[in-house]
Structure 1
Amino acid sequence: MNILTTLRKKMILLAAAFMLLPVATVQANPLEGIPSGNYDLDRTHASVVWKVSHLGFSTYVGRFTNFDADLTLNTEKFSDSAVNVVIQVDSLDTDYPFPEKEDFNKKLSTDWFKSGEHPTITFASTKVSALQDSNQFTIDGELTLMGQTHAVTLNAVLNGATPNHPFMKVPLVGFSASTSIDRTVWGLSNYAPNIGADVVIEIEGEFVKSKD
């Protein structure tokens, strides 16, 4: 076997090896074509749900029905984005059976959450991470509940975005976010740990571009 034949075989083997290497792909920017700016919450497509263990037998689910949020979106540098949320405590809602449901909801909001003294729950972001794997990110912020403020981190997903809402004809972005907090840290200690101290919070929201 001459030297030329040997070199050819080595080149063929090297080419085959390179073909087997994984090909690096450039992730498309999911916010391409979406303008930066202020975005308003579409309340018809948003929810704030909380979940807590009931004596270890089930997960009790409730929600808040009156809340608002504003989003400052930076599509060129996503980590410069920010979000603020305000929840009205007396909008607490459960699936407690009628006719006692309204009394039960009121008892929770007034006796547990002290809505008379602290009528709102607020969240203000302090740091937003860059998008990971195109659509996942985290939001660090301060949660104020019952007059106490502590840091929390939300795990969030950019579900999608369009420059042209199918009905409103304005830019639209949609997010999901969740976190778990120890409610006793904020002084909300009623019946813990029998009623779980750890509370899972799940948030869904669509935001439309404000008319600046």
Structure 2
Amino acid sequence: MNIKNTLRRKVLIALTAVMMVPFSNSMAASLSEMPSGAYDLDLTHASVLWKVSHLGFSTYIGRFENFDADLVLDTQDFTKSSVDVEIQVDSLETAFPFPEKEDFNKKLSMEWFKGGEFPTINFVSKKVSALAEDNTFTIEGDLTLMGNTHPVTLDAKLNGFTPSHPFKKVPLIGFSAVTTIDRTVWGLSNYAPNIGADVKVEIEGEFTMQAK
């Protein structure tokens, strides 16, 4: 068997193994099979995107590259779960073209978000709703941006989970969440409303259980 065929065979075996992992989509009924406890964010499978109107002609999209989240999962009573998120402002990233890209990103993070004075954006959950039949739920909490704290509600979805990660062999759970905030409420009012005041934030995250 040549090298190419050997590699192809290994890839197929790996893909088959992943597809056979017992991911669950019946959520509420079987979530109790998962262990409760502290879970760490898997940054290789996570993202924080923001979207804002640019003069009404397009939706401008950016993201933050450096962030973390601590999840405390209660699988017996999902409403007792909680999440704490911290985003590093200086990790702001856009698709602005080179060579001005670095200067533009720095201008946004330092001048718009005042990253020198307020280096982090924080979200702390206060209330988590029960899972609905379609696996959706809400997360109510406080968002702190530029030194100002205001309540925010995330519309979230439990995407799936497994008691054994296909490679790490630890419990794994994945979520999506979205919210829209009026950035001017936090004092981030540059060029509003021409550059949209409403900012849509989309979050994706996979979490693995902390090693004991």
- The percentage of counterpart residues that share the same residue type is 71
Aligned equivalents of 2:130, 2:55: Cα separation in 1: 39
Aligned equivalents of 1:63, 1:70: Cα separation in 2: 19
Deviation digits for residues 29-87 of structure 1 (CA, Å, limit 9, x no counterpart): 24131100000000000000000000000000000000000000000000000000000
Aligned equivalents of 2:116, 2:90: Cα separation in 1: 9
Alignment of 1:44-193 (within 5 A): 44-193=44-193
Distance 1:172 1:89, change over 3 A: same
1:111 match: secondary structure: helix
Moved over 6 A (4+): none
**Aligned CA-pair RMSD:** 1.2
Q: Contact conserved, 2:178 with 2:203, CA < 8 A, in 1?
A: yes
Aligned equivalents of 2:68, 2:121: Cα separation in 1: 11
Aligned equivalents of 2:78, 2:33: Cα separation in 1: 14
Runs of 5+ in structure 1 lacking a partner? 1-25
- 1:204 alignment counterpart: 204
TM-score, normalization by structure 1:
0.86
Q: Which amino acid aligns with 2:172?
A: L
- 1:3 alignment counterpart: none
Q: How many residues align?
A: 187
Q: Which amino acid aligns with 1:75?
A: T
Runs of 5+ in structure 2 lacking a partner? 1-25
Aligned equivalents of 2:78, 2:134: Cα separation in 1: 11
Deviation digits for residues 86-134 of structure 1 (CA, Å, limit 9, x no counterpart): 0000000000000100000000000000000000000000000000115
TM-score, normalization by structure 2:
0.86
User: C-alpha displacement at 1:28, in angstroms?
Assistant: 5.5
- 1:31 alignment counterpart: 31
